[in-house]
Amino acid sequence: MTKSKRRAGSMVVAFILAMGVAGLWQGVADWCWNSLTELNRLGKQMESISLAPDGEPLIVRSSYSSGYRTSVDEMVTLDGQPRNFTSTELAGSFAHLEGSERYIQENSPSWSERLAAINDGGTPETYWYLVDDGNRPGRVYGIGYHSRTKLLVGYFGKQGFSDSLPPVSEWFEITDGSLRRATTTNVYAQEPQWNNSDPNFLLLASDKLWLIDLQRRQVKSLADCPEAYSVGTLWKMAPLDANSAEVTPEARMQARLESPAAARSDGMLTIVNRKSGAQRKIELPTRLHDAMLSGWQLADGQVLVLASWYREEVPPPDELLWFGPDSKIVKEQRFRLARNSYELPITQVWWENIQAPIPLAKTILFVYISKLEGDRLKPPSYAAGFAKVFRRAWLAAFVLYAVCVIPAWAAYRRQKRFNLPNPLGWAVFVYVMGIPGWIAYRFHRAWPVLEECPACHQPSPRDRQTCLDCGKAFPPPPPKGIEVFA
């Protein structure tokens, strides 16, 4: 084997080792991050908005006790007055409708992101799944399995339920979004063993809002929504009982079952009655186009919308907007909630340096995120996307690039110190692969022993006959009296 082939083979071995070290490094880093986050989470408080039975917004302050369990510490009105209700009396905000700054997935989703599951509540239950074909734009069909026997029960598409897989032309089309955004159902790649109070799929696909009633085995088009990109449910508030001035459990359950669907586009929130298909359109202020929306339908006919911003580093205050029966704003209130107080004080761009201290990975990620950011703009512009990412991540990238000069220089010096070939090539390899590259370089081969030269007293590798520094021959080892001379 020629020297050049041996050198190339050595670098290939080092590259494979570096990839393994990088994977192990990331796994350990993620485990440390999760452990520290969990420790930091304990005792920390966060705030959310829920409605009292009479429709008054309350700030609910909760803290993590252990694992992901939370305990409610207190609840106050927006002006700080304490209130006291049980958790079953509160109506939380669960219809998180993403705005124009939503993440648009271009690559194929993972298998865990291609299933949405519902338990139909039957006896015994049938587990129904929406299955995404994994393309973008893509198609979705439905399939059901018996919970006990695991046998196939049936399918459904745009034309309804059937015993055989419907043709592709009858599948539901989804465009720039993910299955998670197109349906109100949680997306999990596991059996839906839990029962749902609302065993129906609400699906935004094929420019329509669909209601898929799993108990009645019906597929119904509720509304045309050609520009909508996110779907959710508004929590319907039950009226107070005239005699007790309270909400009865029966009224609360009935209102919950009648909660309307909501489809979101940039400038419009379309609210649809699930039974009648009656629509109500609310024009959203321009400032809310980027916001995450959730909301409630109040007992007096008003719609209360909560607008929050999560993606921005310094988000504006949260907003509550009351829309009257004529869909005009009748009241607004701004406030700030304490969110994510348990997060470690490390931003994503710096965490990437810890998770993968590899300049090559940082560069690829920089280019990829720049493309994603550029594609979100109208018109799409890679240069503008790059500028946006550069403003956010230039310092973290510069620090990583600068720090990785140190192991690259160490590799160069080591090659020189052992008088080994291609020191510049190894320096480039270690720089590109970062800290995992240095570890792989250091341990991909057996290194010769360094011993002090008797002539110049400098450490020199003893895999040769002469000293690397002074060039004098090493003396032979002293005789031990057991030598055999021919």
Nearest Cα neighbor of 130 from 167, 171, 99 is: 171
The whole model's pTM is what?
0.67
Task: Output phi, psi for 315, to 5 deg.
Answer: -70, 150
Query: What are the C-alpha distances in Å from 231 to residues 250, 285, 336, 367, 478?
Result: 27, 19, 25, 31, 85
DSSP state of 97: B
Output 37 or 5, whichever has higher pLDDT. 37
Output 101 or 226, whichever has higher pLDDT. 226
Q: What is the pLDDT of residues 286-299, one digit of tens each?
A: 999 888 899 999 99
Three-class secondary structure of residue 232 per DSSP:
strand
pLDDT at 102 (0 to 100):
72
List, in sequence order, every residue forming a beta bridge with 262; answer none if it has no partner.
232, 271
Nearest Cα neighbor of 350 from 407, 310, 406, 392 is: 392
Average pLDDT (4-12) is 73
Output 79 or 421, whichever has higher pLDDT. 79
The answer to whether 189 and 222 are in contact (CB under 8 A) is no
Q: What is the pLDDT of residues 54-64, one digit of tens each?
A: 899 999 988 77
Q: Work out the pLDDT band at 113, boundaries 50, 70, 90.
A: confident
Q: Output the CA torsion sign for 395, 398, 404, 405.
A: negative
List, in sequence order, every residue forming a beta bridge with 51; answer none if it has no partner.
57, 91
Nearest Cα neighbor of 58 from 26, 92, 34 is: 92
pLDDT at 469 (0 to 100):
65
Alpha-carbon span 278 to 301, nearest angstrom? 14
Q: Which residues are CB-neighbours of 428 under 8 A, at least 6 positions away?
A: 408
pLDDT at 56 (0 to 100):
92
pLDDT at 3 (0 to 100):
60
Q: What is the pLDDT of residues 400-444, one digit of tens each?
A: 999 999 999 999 988 888 778 888 999 999 999 999 999 988 888
Long-range residue pairs from 105-109, CB within 8 A, at least 24 positions apart, any chain: 105/136, 105/177, 105/178, 106/136, 106/372, 106/375, 107/136, 108/134, 108/135, 108/136, 109/134, 109/178, 109/179
- Where are any strands of DSSP class E within 298-447? 303-308, 318-323, 329-335
pLDDT at 62 (0 to 100):
82
The answer to whether 99 and 166 are in contact (CB under 8 A) is no
The proportion of the chain whose per-residue pLDDT surpasses 70, expressed as a percent, equals 89
Q: Work out the pLDDT band at 105, boundaries 50, 70, 90.
A: low
Task: Output phi, psi for 471, to 5 deg.
Answer: 85, 0
Task: Output phi, psi for 453, to 5 deg.
Answer: -75, 130
Q: Which amino acid is at 126?
A: T
Alpha-carbon span 84 to 227, nearest angstrom? 42
Q: What is the pLDDT of residues 136-186, one digit of tens each?
A: 778 999 999 999 999 999 999 999 999 999 999 999 998 766 777 788 776
pLDDT at 458 over 60: yes
259 class by beta-carbon count within 10 Å (0-12 exposed, 13-18 middle, 19+ buried)? buried
DSSP per residue, 372-410: HHHHHSSS--HHHHHHHHHHHHHHHHHHHHHHTHHHHHH
Average pLDDT (10-30) is 89
Q: Are strands 172-174 and 138-146 parallel, antiparallel or unpaired?
A: antiparallel
Q: Which amino acid is at 54?
A: D
Three-class secondary structure of residue 91 per DSSP:
strand
pLDDT at 68 over 60: no
Element (H, E) at 59: strand 57-66
Output 271 or 65, whichever has higher pLDDT. 271
Tokens linked to 397: 């990238």
pLDDT at 86 over 70: yes
Nearest Cα neighbor of 285 from 305, 314, 302 is: 305
Tokens linked to 114: 């291609």
pLDDT at 271 (0 to 100):
93
pLDDT at 377 (0 to 100):
78
pLDDT at 296 (0 to 100):
94
377 phi-psi bin (left φ>0, alpha ψ -120 to 50, beta other): beta
Alpha-carbon span 369 to 349, nearest angstrom? 11
What is the residue-averaged pLDDT of the chain?
Answer: 84
Q: Which residues are CB-neighbours of 182 under 8 A, at least 6 positions away?
A: 140, 174, 203, 204, 205, 231
**Which residue has tokens 């592709």?**
168
Alpha-carbon span 142 to 147, nearest angstrom? 16
Nearest Cα neighbor of 222 from 210, 212, 232, 231 is: 210
Average pLDDT (7-33) is 86
pLDDT at 74 over 60: yes
pLDDT at 340 (0 to 100):
58
Q: What is the pLDDT of residues 297-331, one digit of tens each?
A: 999 989 999 999 876 567 789 999 999 988 899 99
The answer to whether 330 and 324 are in contact (CB under 8 A) is yes
Q: What is the pLDDT of residues 204-249, one digit of tens each?
A: 999 999 999 998 999 999 999 888 888 888 999 988 877 777 888 8
- Give the number of other Cβ atoms within 10 Å of residue 287's Cβ: 11
pLDDT at 174 (0 to 100):
87
Q: Which amino acid is at 59?
A: I
Query: What are the C-alpha distances in Å from 159 to residues 216, 219, 231?
Result: 14, 7, 21
